[in-house]
């Protein structure tokens, strides 16, 4: 009997060995999986960390000291970028445009979406189809005509000329998202409010809108990202530095001070702090939004 | 029509009027205006517009070499994005889809680059790829290959691929999130049942994962194509189309025709032809996804 226990052929031992092999294989696969993911994650984060660390170096050290860690951070770069680099003004312009466009999209898109979902009126379906079809048809050249039109309306180089086209740009996705959401809401609450004497507008404002908060959050985050990062239209419409948002400001700064890398990196860092904050706070809405509304990205 | 009915309808229309006006003025009118302008020769300012019929389109199709180069460049970047970027996204999504810890961490980090603007991404990478002070050349030197150093985005041999690399760095996280959501929608039981029946990894991948993911693959492909063909921000903040025409893309050509040489009519015909190409791609995609829906 004692000799038998030593042989590996006993069922329990074979089982032990298999279990060990299985576990070893499992952990090996797991570590390979994490190694791949961590490498890619590092590749995502590294340029950003390097950007931040470069923004804290001086013009003298930046080309020689390539380390990520900065022993003597030169915080003054941020002050100089904010004031002399004009990034303070660009920053507030960007905040203003983002807030106004997001607000405008939410108001106009939700009202239209509510009407398309709940109210009956002649021409409802045809109008809805026309508005939504702009989401499907790519029209890369229409910014030329938009420019001509803004010129005619005297909106070139004005805040309004930059804001209105962007509100319009957010409408198709917004109406689509919110209409789908309103369609799924039970109508009982709204009927009750109607019976209690609310008019259409009050029902929309006090019953439907509070219920639609999750969809509105998705819409707000997506439009905020889009407006904050917008460049093409800003480049076409705005030439006055006092009106420019950050993206355009970055290009202007880069054009004027091509070799002042620490200041440029400070400016870029300033420009991404709000968007990263929003991203980390609203992360779950973003994932929900890309997957639900992948129709337009 | 009674007064009450009129009032009712009037308030209803008030809900859609703001959106409709914005849509009319900033979408529909410009859209139609593009077609009108495309048959004229016009500098954008003067009151005189010369009708030229389809001459602009003839020139676009047969006499505009930079335009064709720009289409080819965008096509090359698109092909690279379709293959490398989406395969990387799929591999990562399949890894993270398994029961590994830190799923949310990876999702947050991989989606960081897509949150940034093309301008920011372009400016940072522009410096990494820089010829004299760039980080990449320093790294190559410290790894013992100083001879490989070059001005990556100014060298005709590497500029287009450099831009493509930046674009893919920015884009893969977006594909990852959609593909991961698609994978997570596949019922676990299917794979488990197949495994119990003795199916190997490859078999499960090719017979269960791929067929069920076909609609998602088509969606990601079409959005990659549409997004990459219209690449602009990354180009303008890195190479601005250079060296020569090596990184020109359709949008930079349209803008050059419009603002550079003040040929608004010609720019419109470029836009229309480009739009038709993108529309054709979208139609193919819709056909394919309908076909795949029937097939699965």
Tell me which chain A residues have a C-beta less than 8 angstroms from the C-beta of B16.
111-112, 115-116, 121, 127
CATH number for B57-295: choose from 3.10.620.30, 3.30.70.260, 2.40.40.20, 1.10.3720.10: 1.10.3720.10
| pLDDT top residue among A97 and B46 | A97
- Best probe of the A interface among B26, B49, B257, B259, by most A CBs < 10 A, is B26
pLDDT in tens for each of the 297 residues of chain A? 444 455 556 667 778 888 888 888 888 888 888 899 999 999 999 999 989 988 888 877 777 777 777 777 888 888 888 888 888 999 999 999 999 999 999 999 999 999 998 888 888 888 888 887 776 666 677 888 888 888 888 889 999 999 999 999 888 888 988 988 888 888 888 888 888 888 888 888 888 888 888 889 888 998 999 999 999 999 989 988 899 999 999 998 888 887 788 888 999 999 999 999 999 988 878 877 776 655 443
- The Cα diameter of chain A in Å comes to 101
pLDDT at B115 over 80: yes
Q: Give the nearest partner residue to A254 out of B44, B115, B123, using CB atoms.
A: B123
- Backbone phi and psi for residue B235, each to the nearest 5 degrees, phi listed first: -65, -45
User: Taking CA atoms, what residue in A is nearest to B253?
Assistant: A141
Inter-chain residue contact B29 with A36, CB threshold 8 Å:
no
**Of A230, A202, A271, which Cα lies nearest the Cα of A52?**
A271
Smallest Cα distance from A5 to chain B, Å: 32
- Give the integer Cα–Cα distance in Å for A213 and A219: 10
**Of A73, A218, A78, A100, which Cα lies nearest the Cα of A162?**
A100
The gap between the terminal CA atoms of chain A, to the nearest Å, is 71
Inter-chain residue contact B233 with A232, CB threshold 8 Å:
yes
Q: Which pLDDT belongs to residue A42?
A: 92
| Cβ within 8 Å of A, B 46-105 | 88, 91-92, 95-96, 98, 100, 102, 105
∠ Cα A159 A90 B124 (to 5°) = 125
- Give the integer Cα–Cα distance in Å for A288 and A83: 38
CA distances from B7 to A290, B16, B56, B142 (A): 40, 15, 50, 77
Q: Are A52 and A70 in contact (CB under 8 A)?
A: no
The domain segmentation of chain B, as residue ranges, is: 57-295
Q: What is the pLDDT of residues B216-253, one digit of tens each?
A: 888 898 889 988 999 999 999 998 887 888 899 999 99
| pLDDT top residue among B6 and A271 | A271
Inter-chain residue contact B117 with A251, CB threshold 8 Å:
no
- Name the burial class of residue B192, with classes exposed (0-12), middle (13-18) and buried (19+) by CB atoms within 10 angstroms of its CB: exposed
Q: Give the nearest partner residue to A33 out of B16, B98, B181, using CB atoms.
A: B98
Q: Which pLDDT belongs to residue A166?
A: 92
Q: Which pLDDT belongs to residue A118?
A: 84
CA distances from B142 to B70, B77, B148 (A): 36, 30, 11
- Backbone phi and psi for residue A288, each to the nearest 5 degrees, phi listed first: -60, -40
Give the HSE-up count for residue B278: Cα atoms under 13 Å, Cβ half-sphere.
Answer: 26
Smallest Cα distance from A238 to chain B, Å: 14
Q: Is A46 on the interface with B (CB under 8 A)?
A: no
Give the HSE-up count for residue A147: Cα atoms under 13 Å, Cβ half-sphere.
Answer: 25
Q: Give the nearest partner residue to A145 out of B30, B251, B275, using CB atoms.
A: B30
| pLDDT top residue among B71 and B132 | B71
CA distances from A93 to A276, A277, B120 (A): 18, 18, 17
Which residues does residue A27 pair with via DSSP β-bridges, in sequence order?
none
- In this prediction, residue B262 has a pLDDT band, given cuts at 50, 70 and 90, of confident
What is the DSSP secondary structure assignment for residue B134, as one 8-state letter?
Answer: -
**Of B102, B295, B101, B95, which Cα lies nearest the Cα of B201?**
B95
């Amino acid at each position: 009997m004692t000799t038998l226990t030593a042989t590996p052929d006993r069922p329990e031992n074979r089982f032990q060995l298999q279990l060990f092999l299985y576990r070893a294989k499992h952990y090996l696969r797991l570590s390979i999986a994490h190694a791949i993911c961590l490498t890619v994650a590092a590749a995502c984060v590294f340029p950003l960390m390097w950007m931040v660390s470069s923004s804290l170096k001086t013009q003298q050290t930046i080309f020689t000291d390539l380390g990520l860690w900065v022993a003597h951070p030169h915080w003054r770069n941020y002050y100089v970028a904010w004031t002399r680099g004009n990034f303070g003004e660009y920053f507030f312009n960007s905040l203003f445009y983002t807030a106004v466009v997001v607000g405008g999209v939410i108001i106009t898109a939700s009202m239209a979406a509510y009407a398309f979902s709940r109210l009956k009126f002649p021409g409802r379906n045809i109008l809805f189809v026309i508005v939504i079809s702009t989401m499907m048809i790519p029209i890369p050249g229409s910014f030329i005509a938009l420019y001509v039109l803004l010129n005619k309306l005297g909106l070139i180089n004005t805040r309004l000329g930059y804001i209105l086209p962007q509100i319009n740009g957010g409408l198709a996705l917004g109406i689509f998202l919110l209409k789908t959401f309103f369609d799924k809401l039970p109508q009982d609450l709204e009927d009750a409010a109607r019976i209690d004497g609310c008019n259409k507008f009050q029902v929309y404002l006090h019953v439907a809108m509070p219920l639609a908060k999750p969809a509105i959050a998705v819409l707000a985050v997506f439009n905020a990202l889009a407006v904050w990062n917008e460049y093409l239209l800003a480049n076409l419409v705005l030439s006055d530095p006092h009106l420019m948002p950050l993206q355009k400001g970055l290009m202007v700064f880069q054009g004027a001070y091509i070799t002042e890398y620490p200041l440029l990196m400070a400016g870029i860092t300033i420009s991404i702090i709000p968007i990263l904050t929003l991203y980390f706070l609203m992360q779950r809405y973003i994932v929900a939004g890309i997957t639900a509304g992948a129709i337009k990205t | 029509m009674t007064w009450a009915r009129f009032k009712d309808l009037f308030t209803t229309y008030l809900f859609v009027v703001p959106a409709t006006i914005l849509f009319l003025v900033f979408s529909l009118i410009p859209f139609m205006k593009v077609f009108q302008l495309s048959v004229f020769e016009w500098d954008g300012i003067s009151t005189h517009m010369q009708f030229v019929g389809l001459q602009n389109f003839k020139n676009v199709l047969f006499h505009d070499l930079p335009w064709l180069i720009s289409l080819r460049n965008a096509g090359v970047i698109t092909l690279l994005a379709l293959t490398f970027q989406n395969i990387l996204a799929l591999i990562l999504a399949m890894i993270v889809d398994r029961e590994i810890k830190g799923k949310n961490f990876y999702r947050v980090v991989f989606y960081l680059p897509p949150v940034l603007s093309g301008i920011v991404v372009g400016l940072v990478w522009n410096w990494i790829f820089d010829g004299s002070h760039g980080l990449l050349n320093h790294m190559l030197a410290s790894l013992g290959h100083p001879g490989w150093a070059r001005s990556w985005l100014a060298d005709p041999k590497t500029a287009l691929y450099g831009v493509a690399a930046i674009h893919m760095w920015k884009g893969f996280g977006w594909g990852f999130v959609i593909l991961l959501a698609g994978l997570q929608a596949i019922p676990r039981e299917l794979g488990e049942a197949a495994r119990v029946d003795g199916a190997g990894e490859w078999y499960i991948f090719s017979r269960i994962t791929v067929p069920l993911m076909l609609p998602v693959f088509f969606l990601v492909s079409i959005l990659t194509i549409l997004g990459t063909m219209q690449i602009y921000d990354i180009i303008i903040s890195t190479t601005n189309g250079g060296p020569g025409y090596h990184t020109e893309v359709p949008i930079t050509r349209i803008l050059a025709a419009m603002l550079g040489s003040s040929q608004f009519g010609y720019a419109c015909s470029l836009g229309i032809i480009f739009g038709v190409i993108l529309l054709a791609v979208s139609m193919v995609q819709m056909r394919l996804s309908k076909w795949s829906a029937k097939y699965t």
